[in-house]
Structure 1
Amino acid sequence: MLRLFRNLRNSHNQNSGIRKYLFYAIGEIILVVLGILIALQIDNWNEDRINRQKEVILLNQLKREFNGALAQLGDKIEQRNQIMRSSKWLLNLIDSSERNTSDSVSYHLKRTVFVPTLNVNTNDFFDARDVGLIRNDSLRNLLAEWPAQAEQLIEEEQGWSRYRDLYLVPFLFEHYQARNLYNAVQTDLAMMRTVFLDKDKTFQVMIGNSKTTPAVTELLKTPVFEDHLAYSIMINNIANIQSYTLGEHIEKILEQINTSIR
């Protein structure tokens, strides 16, 4: 009987040792797993922190770019307004019996040869930026629409540029003193400030007017001249409508950028 109790006790002690070992082993495994999970979590926190820093840098870069684009857009709108006002002034002069001096005609005529063009990056906009860093879904959607929105305006600008180079300028060279036009462009500081990157810069060498008197009366009597003016008003009107729409889109982008930076 004593041997039986001794055997039972030894068996119990052995089982108890195994249980203790199993508990210890399981505890070790749990500690290792917890250590791995904590390490992964720390890595994720660090990665999130780094990505957040990169996102803020990207957002500030985009903010500068779109603020610049918005200011530039305002200049282009004003240029087109001046083109349209001068084109309309010349049309009114054609329709009236008055004949102003060549200086007045040169002043308005030279404004019709400006070509406002928005200088923005649309072709590789996403290639140069990791937009995936941006967590704001609304901002990402607005940025995705930006290139197509800008291209619509650029197409109108290119249409006016081609027309001016192919039809308007050759016509003016044939029917008006080009030197006077170039000189009028140089002296139009209000218009040039919307063109120059540095608003305080001016031309260093002035052209001066020709001694030949421009044939203003003959120019105004040429039927195709009013067609050129009419086209100038129409296409620049369209471009400005596109510009206002693009400006609203930029303002939405800036609003979402400011929300994301806070």
Structure 2
Amino acid sequence: MENKTGKYFKYAIGEIVLVVIGILIALQINNWNEQRKDNIKEQGLLKQLQEDYQSNLLQLEEKMVTREISLNSAVKLLNAFDESDGVVKDSVIKDLANIRHDPTFDPIKNNLTSSENLRLIRNNELRRLLSNWSSDVVGVTEVETTWSNLVNEQYHPIISELGLGRDIYNSFVNDTEHNWLLDKNSNSFKSEIGISKLSAPLNEMLINKELESMISASIVFNRGANLQSEALRQRILEILELIAEEIK
């Protein structure tokens, strides 16, 4: 009986070991399968993020170019205020139309960087950068919003008071570069607004203190926005580089 009991005991232990091994193998296979599914999801997520951030980069760079145009025009206008000899009114109008631009960066919004999706990304540095993306954008949008408010609340009243609204809007839709248009070669935005007979003469424009102040402000805010944008641009390039390293 003792011999039989020992054999049964050894047999039972063996059965338990086999069951445990079977369970462990099944769990491992299941883990491998889940990991494979997560890897597939991660690759799909990375490719979509790559596409989105490339679009964000393109948009940001276009806004930076638009601000550079505004900055160049603002400098020319201040020079005209300082020395008006040889200044042509049409050129001043075009430059005033250029500084009227208030480009705003509007990155693609989606749920790709939700906590559930970020869990799939194994690269810790990439996950950190994606998690901080929203706060990084704020530095640019705050400056943009302030300048946009100044354009609407102060710049427009000044040019209206000088009777320059029609001339500036005519230049804005027909002469200035529109980097914010989807179709850069389209002429559909052009419109026959024409030139006003009521606009202030050049000498009156170039002694207007409020106008000079707004031109100066445009330099400060557009330069500040572009400095913030350059920092954000570097962040996007860093994100894209990490994504490219993770895509198989």
Separation of aligned partners in 2, 1:105 and 1:135: 55
Partner of 1:208: 193
1:41-87 CA distance string (max 9 Å, x none): 11111110111111111111111111111111111111111111101
Partner of 1:5: none
1:183-219 CA distance string (max 9 Å, x none): 2111236x21x10123333325512322516322211
TM-score (norm 1): 0.88
Partner of 1:105: 92
Partner of 1:9: none
One-letter identity of the residue aligned with 1:113: R
1:71-110 CA distance string (max 9 Å, x none): 1111111111111110111111111131533221121110
Partner of 2:234: 248
Checking the alignment, whether the CA contact within 8 Å between 1:76 and 1:117 is kept in structure 2 is yes
One-letter identity of the residue aligned with 2:207: K
Partner of 2:128: 141
One-letter identity of the residue aligned with 2:73: S
Partner of 2:11: 24
Q: Which of 69, 75, 85 is the aligned partner of 2:62?
A: 75
Consecutive unaligned residues in structure 1, runs of 5 or more: 1-13
One-letter identity of the residue aligned with 1:68: S
Separation of aligned partners in 2, 1:66 and 1:43: 34
Q: Percent identity?
A: 36
Q: How does 1:1-20 map to 2 (within 5 A)?
A: 14-20=1-7
One-letter identity of the residue aligned with 2:195: S
One-letter identity of the residue aligned with 1:119: D
Separation of aligned partners in 2, 1:152 and 1:131: 23
Separation of aligned partners in 2, 1:204 and 1:260: 42
Partner of 1:116: 103
Aligned residues: 247
Residue 218 to residue 123, structure 1, CA distance change in 2 (3 Å): farther
Q: How far is 1:254 from its partner? A: 0.8
Partner of 2:180: 195
Residue 15 to residue 115, structure 1, CA distance change in 2 (3 Å): same
Residue 125 to residue 172, structure 1, CA distance change in 2 (3 Å): farther
Deviates more, 1:118-127 or 1:19-28: 118-127
Q: How far is 1:123 from its partner? A: 9.8
Separation of aligned partners in 2, 1:201 and 1:84: 25
Checking the alignment, whether the CA contact within 8 Å between 2:45 and 2:112 is kept in structure 1 is no
Partner of 1:166: 153
Deviates more, 1:110-119 or 1:142-151: 142-151
Separation of aligned partners in 2, 1:23 and 1:36: 20
One-letter identity of the residue aligned with 1:30: V
Q: How far is 1:122 from its partner? A: 6.9
Consecutive unaligned residues in structure 2, runs of 5 or more: none
Partner of 1:57: 44
Q: How far is 1:26 from its partner? A: 1.3
Q: How far is 1:139 from its partner? A: 0.4
Checking the alignment, whether the CA contact within 8 Å between 2:144 and 2:225 is kept in structure 1 is yes
One-letter identity of the residue aligned with 2:78: L
Checking the alignment, whether the CA contact within 8 Å between 1:150 and 1:246 is kept in structure 2 is yes
Residue 198 to residue 204, structure 1, CA distance change in 2 (3 Å): closer
Checking the alignment, whether the CA contact within 8 Å between 1:59 and 1:257 is kept in structure 2 is yes
Checking the alignment, whether the CA contact within 8 Å between 1:73 and 1:118 is kept in structure 2 is yes
